Amino acid sequence: MDYTRSFRFADDDLNRRLIAVLEEADFRHSVDENEVIRYLPKDEESFENDFVGAIRDKVFTSWQVLTCPIECTDLYKQYMRAHEIPFKEEMIDGQLWFLLPQKYRPDRWNLDDELAAAPK
C-alpha cells in the first residue's frame, strides 16, 4: 500500500490515543519508529474528520488549525507563548501546524510587533 500521507501529534499522549483509535476502528495505516502515522491519500477525509478531529475535540471543544510558512513557525510559537494562547503542535506531511482554540484570531495578530521586540 502507498501510505504517502503522514500525521503526528507532537504530544505523545495525544498521538498514542489517535493510534489506539485507528487500530480499534481497523483503519488502514502504518506507524513508523517515530510514531508517525501514515495513511492513504484516498483516506484523507475520513482520517481527518473521523479520527484526528475526534482527538482535537477532546483537546479544545472548539478549535482551529493554523499553518504558516516554515520560516515563521518560531515567531508564531513565540507570539502564542507570550500571549498565553494555548496550542498543540501537529506534524502533517512533514509540516508543522498548530491546533488552538477557535476563539483566537491569528489574522488579527500583530507579528510585526513581535519581530521588533525580539532580541537581535
Whether residues 72 and 52 share a domain: the answer is: no
CA dist., res. 14 & res. 88, Å (int): 10
Domains held by the chain: number: 2
Predicted pLDDT at 116: 57
Which of 59, 90, 106 is where one domain is finished? Answer: 59
Q: Which residues contact 112 (CB under 8 A, 6 or more apart)?
A: none
- The partner residues of 5 in beta bridges, in order of sequence, read 39
88 is written with which cell numbers? 498543540
Whether pLDDT at 117 is above 70: no
Predicted pLDDT at 113: 67
Whether residues 43 and 91 share a domain: the answer is: no
Whether residues 50 and 69 share a domain: the answer is: no
Structural domain harbouring 41 = 1-59
Q: What is the mean pLDDT of the chain?
A: 93
Whether pLDDT at 60 is above 90: yes
- Of the listed ranges 46-55, 57-66, 107-116, the least confidently predicted one is 107-116
Query: CATH no. for residue 117?
Result: 3.30.70
Whether pLDDT at 53 is above 70: yes
Whether residues 65 and 29 share a domain: the answer is: no
Is-contact 55 70, C-beta < 8 A?
no
Whether residues 81 and 53 share a domain: the answer is: no
